[in-house]
Chains A and B, each alone.
Chain A
Amino acid sequence: MTLLHIEDMTKNFATGGGFLSKTGPIVQAVRGVSLQIAAGETLGLVGESGCGKSTLGRCVIRLIQPTSGSIRFDGQDVTTASPYELRQLRRKMQIIFQDPYSSLNPRQTIGASIMEGMDIHGIHAPGTRRDSVVELLEKVGLKADHFRNYPHEFSGGQRQRIVIARALAVGPQFIVADEAVSALDVSIQAQILNLLLDLQVMMNLTYLFISHNLHVVRHISDRVAVMYLGRIVETASADDIYLSPRHPYTKALLSSALVPDPQKPPQKVSVTGDVPSPVNPPSGCAFRTRCSLADEICARVDPHLIFQGSHGVACHHAEK
């Protein structure tokens, strides 16, 4: 069953401007993205900085308002929900950010942080909320007596556990994990990935897992979507993306990711230069300025995602 349905979503940001001054050029952060996530599934969203993956994640739970397009969660339209409906929706959709240092209030005990959502949404009887918090703390691998501690008393990995407990406090079905393990050391990253996998099975959660780390995305995701300059350029099952990538950008990403094994040398780098500015993306296919296959059609026509089964690619030369 499809839990989240994104249809032709676009988000533009105006730059510059201010009181009495003209607004500057428009940044097209997300350009006509359509995606579906089934209940209980993990969709991995990969791409480099500035590709729009975080903007997409924030639009999905309407932390920011998309410019156009529709987002339906469990049959309900998120983009047009009233403030009351939105609050009900937020019980079901939560987000975990990259930086566990800035996403916790330093003056609030972690028990209070986790309980706040329950108070706001009136979950559990007031007298039993404390017990539920303790239960959550234990579920994410912390101890009951951590309840009274403040965020500065915890390490980065522990703080990310706290943030996960807080997201789970309102009993969500869907979690956006925006670079949730990127700031952590590898040994701690592995612990948090294990926790996310365990919780998914335990609580039947659906994840939108946003990351730039290809190894991590492959490990945790059922399906993967690759983003470049505001567009999805390829989407398929995790194995298909990694074993038979078809978009030249996906191929370049995969060959740039270094496997920790000296016996498996990386392929020669097949892209040059940096990602162009989203203020002024290239005409036609956005990747053409760095692509070795680009020709004149790529400059004129922006390719659409064409599906073969469940594997979609947006490239004029995907078969080469």
Chain B
Amino acid sequence: MSFFTKDGEVRALDGVDFSIESGRTLGLVGESGCGKSVTALSILRLLPKHSGRIKSGEIWFEGTNLAHVSEAEMRNVRGKRISMIFQDPMTSLNPVVNVGSQITEAMHLHEEISKADANARAVEMLTLAGIPNPGMRLRQFPHELSGGMRQRVMIAMALACSPSLLLADEPTTALDVTVQAQILELLLDIQNRFAMGVLLITHDLGVVAHHTQEVAVMYGGRIVEHASTADLFRSPRHPYTKGLMNSIPVQQKHKSRISAIPGTVPSALNWPSGCRFRTRCPLADAQCAHESPALLPVGPGHAAACFKM
């Protein structure tokens, strides 16, 4: 997938490959600019019309290749079969429309449903999302709700048409920790109830460790490691994954230096040749500059893209 800007082509995603089973959660982790949000936007074909383009590849969803369906068919998928929740509930909700209308909008778009039935289902969804007094909340506007409540409304909206896949892009990053815990708990509960597949995009390894079954680590628009969550944390193989885990000051000795990854993420306009992590990697040598490592199996259900493992 590429963006075409005035400074040239930005190859935001490069050969990204993964699958999500119903009822399971795949975590997509990486730092800003690694392409994790663009991945979700590509699945829903929400890329900017003129500058963003999926150049090659396939996106199979329930037997259809989403990369090739018409825009009209795509509209039937969005919000109905696949929903998305974004990081910032304040900018993702319409400030001048009440909560009830925003939740029922998707139902009216996708289904023949009476106003009364839609409202009844909206109340049901809000109750499911853990919002007390849902009947009253329907008539309220986003500014009348707290951050945690807004994110719950976003979740109710996303679930309105019982989708089979949920793309959650940093759903709790803007929330306080005590509220984050409640929202993650809620997502898990809803997922189990509807056997929904979830793509959980986050930069927080703590969230990944406890709320996913499988993880793909992204760096520079590529997946560099893919494993079951238990495997990834028990034996990370890629130097970037290891570096990321060591950067979190949890196990380190108090006030000691953290073994940080040196340098900064290179620009997508100008990725390094070969392995994109080599400019920050302690193991890099000549081979890493010439060849691009493929994502190869290193154990059962565990793959990594590195020459130096």
**Apart from A158-B264, A193-B249, 5 more pairs, CB < 8 Å:** A186-B244, A187-B260, A190-B249, A218-B254, A258-B181
Which residues on A are within 8 Å of B, measured CB to CB? 48-49, 155, 157-158, 185-191, 193-194, 197-198, 212, 214-216, 218-220, 222, 238-239, 252-253, 255-263, 265-266, 269, 271-272, 274-275, 290
CA distance A262 to B230 in the complex (A): 6
Contact with A along B259-295 (1 / 0, CB 8 A): 1111011000000000000000000000000000000
Tell me whether A266 and B181 are in contact in the complex, defined as CB-CB below 8 angstroms, given that A188-B264, A257-B206, A274-B148 are known contacts: yes
B228-267 to A contact mask, C-beta < 8 Å, 1/0: 0110010000000001111111101011111111101100
Q: Which residues of B contact A193 (CB under 8 A)?
A: 249, 258, 260
Q: Which one of B178, B182, B247 has the highest number of Cβ atoms from chain A below 10 Å of its Cβ?
A: B178
Given A189-B247, A193-B249; A252-B178 close (CB under 8 Å): yes
Closest Cβ of chain B to A58, distance in Å, is 20
Q: What residue in chain B is nearest A48 (Cβ atoms)?
A: B176
Tell me whether A155 and B264 are in contact (CB under 8 A).
Answer: yes
Chain B, Cβ-Cβ closest to A257: B177
Q: How far is the CB of B107 from chain A (nearest CB, A)?
A: 27
Q: Are B252 and A219 in contact (CB-based, < 8 A)?
A: yes
Q: Which of B39-47, B57-65, B66-74, B207-215 lies at the binding interface?
A: B207-215
Interface of A is mostly: helix
Interface core residue of B177, B179, B208, B209 (most chain A CB under 10 Å): B177
Q: Which residues of A contact B248 (CB under 8 A)?
A: 186, 190, 215, 260
Contact flag A260-B205 (CB < 8 Å), given A193-B258, A274-B147, A275-B176: yes
Interface size of B as a range: 35 or more
Kindly supply a per-residue 1/0 record for chain B positions 169-186, scoring 1 wherever the CB is within 8 Å of any chain A CB and 0 otherwise: 000000011111110010
Could you tell me the distance between the alpha carbons of A272 and B185 in the complex, rounded to whole angstroms?
A: 12
Q: Are A48 and B244 in contact (CB under 8 A)?
A: no
B264, A262: Cβ atoms under 8 Å?
A: no
Given A158-B264, A215-B248, A272-B182, A187 and B230 touching (CB < 8 A)? Answer: no
Q: Which residues of B contact A269 (CB under 8 A)?
A: 178, 181-182, 185
Residues of chain B at the chain A interface (Cβ within 8 Å):
31-32, 146-149, 176-182, 185, 203-210, 229-230, 233, 243-250, 252, 254-262, 264-265
B178 and A48: CB pair below 8 A? yes
Select one of B146, B210, B249, B252 contacting A258, CB under 8 A: B210
CB distance A190 to B178 under 8 Å?
no
Q: Which residues of B contact A257 (CB under 8 A)?
A: 177, 206
CB-based nearest B residue for A219: B249
Residue of A whose beta carbon sits closest to that of B184 = A258
CA distance A189 to B250 in the complex (A): 13
Known: A185-B265, A187-B247, A197-B257. A258 touches B185 (CB 8 A): no
- Chain A residues near B264 (CB-CB < 8 A): 155, 157-158, 188
Minimum distance in angstroms from B84 CB to a CB of chain A: 23
Across the interface, do B209 and A261 meet the contact criterion of CB distance under 8 Å?
yes
Residues of B close to A215: CB separation below 8 A = 248-250
Q: A253 — which chain B residues lie within 8 A by C-beta?
A: 177-178
